[in-house]
Amino acid sequence: QVQLVESGGGSVQAGGSLKLSCVGSGYHFKMKCMAWFRLAPGKEREGVAVISSAGSFIRYHSSINGRFTISRDNAKNTMYLQMNSLKSEDASMYYCAVAEDGACYSMGLKIRPDYWGQGTEVTVSS
């Protein structure tokens, strides 16, 4: 069965960095669109970044402003999110998700993933 396992969350001070990882299994990782979403208490879930199967198509939420970098290593079935210059408003549960590759191009951050990970928590203190 499909499994997505996130790691790398933690607690950092504002301005700090974290690198999240998501390992996928049970499906053809290298053929799928992958994405990071986040959900904070009292807020709506939002797409943070998406990356197409080959990494050629990438989109970020407008609030990211060059602070985050999404990437993937298809040989390792792993997707990453390097987060720099973290702000208090970045504090959230971060989830990785998988969707059909075409959805990356047609829907971008509004994709409706087929599968989700269990999430990893990011806390940012000011």
Give 50-104 pLDDT, tens digit per residue.
999 999 999 999 999 999 999 999 999 999 999 999 999 999 999 999 999 999 9
Given strand 18-25, what is the order of strands in its sheet?
Answer: 3-7, 18-25, 78-83, 68-73
Residue 126: its pLDDT value, please? 87
3-state secondary structure of 104: helix
Residue 124 banded pLDDT, cuts 50, 70, 90: very high
Of 26, 23, 22, which Cα lies nearest the Cα of 2? 26
The alpha carbon of 124 is separated from its chain's Cα centroid by a whole number of angstroms, namely 17
Query: 103 — phi, psi (to 5°)?
Result: -65, -30
**51 Cβ contact list (under 8 Å, min separation 6):** 33, 34, 35, 57, 58, 70, 71, 72, 79, 104
**In the prediction, which pLDDT does 13 show?**
98
> DSSP secondary-structure letter at 11?
E
Q: Residue 75: its pLDDT value, please?
A: 98
Task: Identify the CA nearest to 6 among candidates 18, 25, 22.
Answer: 22
Residue 34: what pLDDT?
Answer: 98
What does the pLDDT look like over 25-52, one tens digit per residue? 999 999 999 999 999 999 999 999 999 9
